[in-house]
Amino acid sequence: MTKPRVLISDKMDPNAARIFADMGCDVDVITGETPEQLIARIGDYDGLAIRSSTKVTKEILAAATRLKVIGRAGIGVDNVDIPAASAQGVVVMNTPFGNSITTAEHAIALMFAVARQIPEANAQTQAGLWPKNGFMGVEVTGKTLGLIGAGNIGSIVAARALGLRMKVVAFDPFLTPERAVEMGVEKADLDTLLAKADFITLHTPLTSETKNILSRENLAKTKKGVRIVNCARGGLVDEAALKDMLDSGHVAGAALDVFATEPAKESPLFGTPNFICTPHLGASTTEAQVNVALQVAEQMAEFLTTGGVTNALNMPSLSAEEAPKLKPYMALAEKLGSLVGQLAHDNLTKIAIEVEGAAAQLNPKPITGAVLAGLMKVYSQTVNMVNAPFLAKERGLDVREIRHDREGDYHTLIRVTVHTSQGDRSVAGTLFGNAQPRLVELFGIKVEAELDGDMMYIVNEDAPGFIGRIGTLLGENGINIGTFNLGRREAGGEAVLLLSVDNPVEGPVLDTARKLPGVKTVKALAF
Ligand SMILES: NC(=O)c1ccc[n+]([C@@H]2O[C@H](COP(=O)([O-])OP(=O)(O)OC[C@H]3O[C@@H](n4cnc5c(N)ncnc54)[C@H](O)[C@@H]3O)[C@@H](O)[C@H]2O)c1
Ligand SMILES: O=C(O)CC[C@@H](O)C(=O)O
């Protein structure tokens, strides 16, 4: 088997390349390329490992014909076009915890730096000015920290601030009252936080809700003398308004690690008294960079070599132990999805995926993803488990997952039911020997068939001589039958025939088969 190929396109701790190689991937480290150079190269790779410099745009993804996974050694994925990656079936992963402590520490460091104006005091001292009277700072003890965003980093900042004997007021719409108590913070709305805080630190992603959360209007609601620290994302603070408020003295100090435009080579804020900044260094410690590099390489290599999924932003997680167990179920699920997709006559609006027996003990999301991938392949060849749920949503398909605890006829069963204009139609399958997918029910008729390669599906009235006639027709047209699977509702009732054939059955043969006496439906299938 050829090894998966991975490109590391941003500066990353060398442990990442070592882990990729140790885990069976070929790896190239090529950093600092232009988008055009990356577009020319990316078609050769299964995985792309990045930090924040590489911008994974639609254009880069369009050239990434082999790409299966993008791994961000860090938290923010705003440099990746996730909808475009999802639409293309590329998994996007990040490392949500590896640099949290480091970034929280940077926020605290900047808070002290603005409280005591350390950078400017340092610069003037080293310039020989000994400015002993020029830098009157403030204590943080007893002061109120307003925390905007109380997720991973925000919670660490809160814990450190409480350790510094500060009071912490937090604004985060997703912070539950219980979690606020557990963290030892006061949950507040934004206006209350703005009115109470002596220091404000920001720890949210940049979204349409958080963009300019410290707008001119909101900055005006802050206490006079407030100090502001942003170590999260540029764009959370209105930089022009911040400059005016620093100039007027309403804001006593501000520290930005992140800017609306990066790299920030110029800014009206540069040179403003009591303004300090760092060039997006929040995650830049040896410890954090080793953590995120190891983690991203392990996650990506595991995905590429075993199918295990960790910390994906556009796909459910799947552990390395689960992945091999789920593999035969996913194969069965995809075949069942494909069968209903190929047999559906009209636009499907609803699909139910039921699992029972051993299948009910497994993570249902990959099974659902595989059914949808099989179903959607009828419409698009580029569909896979990652983009299938998105495509299904886009098409307005109502997807239900149902888990049964009951004991059925089979040790494990997956049933897929679609709602059509002719009513609900369902197919069901099991695994023989825990590994071989088998269809066991087709539209209410018991059958037993492997869904594999080219097949022919026929519904007819059960009558003597039919099997002979169909065999003769195929034989006369040079089509060899591999397997023959027959089921019927009752003797003389509706019968279904699933044939595997050595080569595809073409239109004229299908048309002749449709004209055979008693035949209701004929269709060529491919799996
Ligand atoms: N400067 C750096 O180098 C650096 C390093 C790591 C992370 N970051 C950034 O720090 C930020 C926080 O990271 P994290 O790991 O804590 O993320 P997280 O997802 O754990 O936490 C984000 C929090 O923001 C909250 N939130 C979302 N919308 C909000 C809103 N409208 N108002 C208030 N709160 C809102 C969420 O509920 C969540 O609790 C991210 O933007 C990340 O990219 C920056
Ligand atoms: O990689 C970096 O240095 C920045 C990382 C940081 O912005 C993140 O979101 O994890």
Domain residue extents for the chain: 5-98+288-306, 100-277, 321-451, 452-527
CATH topology of domain 452-527: Alpha-Beta Plaits (3.30.70)
The correct answer on CATH 3.40.50.2300 for the domain covering 321-451 is no
Q: Which ligand is nearest to the CA of 75?
A: 2
Establish whether residue 98 lines the binding site of ligand 2, counting it when its CB lies within 6 angstroms of any ligand atom: no
Q: According to the model, what pLDDT value does residue 407 have? A: 81
Atom of ligand 1 nearest to the CA of 106: 1
Establish whether residue 20 lines the binding site of ligand 1, counting it when its CB lies within 6 angstroms of any ligand atom: no
Q: According to the model, what pLDDT value does residue 505 have? A: 92
Establish whether residue 76 lines the binding site of ligand 2, counting it when its CB lies within 6 angstroms of any ligand atom: yes
Q: According to the model, what pLDDT value does residue 301 have? A: 97
Residues with catalytic roles:
233, 262, 280
Write out pLDDT tens, residues 77-128: 999 999 899 888 999 999 999 999 999 999 999 999 999 999 999 999 999 9
First to last CA, the chain: 23
What's the complex ipTM?
Answer: 0.99
Residue 300: CB atoms within 10 A of its CB come to 31
Q: According to the model, what pLDDT value does residue 321 have? A: 82
* Nearest alpha carbon, ligand 1 atom 21: 151
Establish whether residue 153 lines the binding site of ligand 1, counting it when its CB lies within 6 angstroms of any ligand atom: yes
Q: According to the model, what pLDDT value does residue 242 have? A: 98
Q: How far is the CA of 477 from the centre of ligand 1 (A)?
A: 65
* Nearest alpha carbon, ligand 2 atom 1: 51
Cβ(497)–Cβ(484) below 8 Å:
yes
Q: Specify the DSSP element, H or E, that contains 443.
A: none
Atom of ligand 2 nearest to the CA of 77: 9
Instruction: Average the pLDDT over 146-171 and give the result.
Output: 97
Write out pLDDT tens, residues 255-265: 999 999 999 99
Q: How far is the CA of 100 from the centre of ligand 1 (A)?
A: 10
What is the rounded distance in angstroms from the CA atom of residue 9 to the CA atom of residue 192? 44
Q: Which ligand is nearest to the CA of 74?
A: 2
Report the residue among 103, 105, 153 best suited for mutation to probe ligand 2: largest number of ligand atoms under 8 A from its CB.
Answer: 103
The correct answer on CATH 3.40.1190.20 for the domain covering 5-98+288-306 is no
**Reported confidence tier of residue 449, pLDDT bands at 50, 70, 90:** very high
The reply to whether 5-98+288-306 and 321-451 are identical in fold is no
**Reported confidence tier of residue 380, pLDDT bands at 50, 70, 90:** confident
The torsion angles phi and psi of 168, rounded to 5 degrees, stand at -120, 125
- Given the candidates 3.40.50.1110, 3.40.50.800, 3.40.50.720, 3.40.50.280, the CATH classification of the domain at 100-277 is 3.40.50.720
Q: How far is the CA of 506 from the centre of ligand 1 (A)?
A: 57
* Nearest alpha carbon, ligand 2 atom 7: 76
Establish whether residue 53 lines the binding site of ligand 2, counting it when its CB lies within 6 angstroms of any ligand atom: no
Atom of ligand 1 nearest to the CA of 210: 31
What is the rounded distance in angstroms from the CA atom of residue 287 to the CA atom of residue 69? 25
3-state helix, strand and coil shares in percent for the chain, rounded to the nearest 5: 35, 25, 40
* Nearest alpha carbon, ligand 1 atom 41: 205
Q: How far is the CA of 203 from the centre of ligand 1 (A)?
A: 4
Q: How far is the CA of 271 from the centre of ligand 2 (A)?
A: 25
Instruction: Average the pLDDT over 445-455 and give the result.
Output: 94
Query: For residue 465, how far is the Cα from the chain centroid?
Result: 54
Q: How far is the CA of 467 from the centre of ligand 1 (A)?
A: 66
Residue 1 has pLDDT above 80, yes or no: no
Label each residue of 365-410 as H, E or C: HHHHHHHHHHHHCCCCCCCCCCCHHHHHHHCCCEEEEEECCCCCCC
Q: According to the model, what pLDDT value does residue 385 have? A: 86
Closest CA to 198 of 169, 156, 230: 169
Report the residue among 99, 147, 153 best suited for mutation to probe ligand 1: largest number of ligand atoms under 8 A from its CB.
Answer: 153
Write out pLDDT tens, residues 302-330: 999 998 899 999 888 888 788 888 999 99
Instruction: Average the pLDDT over 35-40 and give the result.
Output: 98
Establish whether residue 231 lines the binding site of ligand 1, counting it when its CB lies within 6 angstroms of any ligand atom: yes
Write out pLDDT tens, residues 270-313: 999 999 999 999 999 999 999 999 999 999 999 999 988 999 99
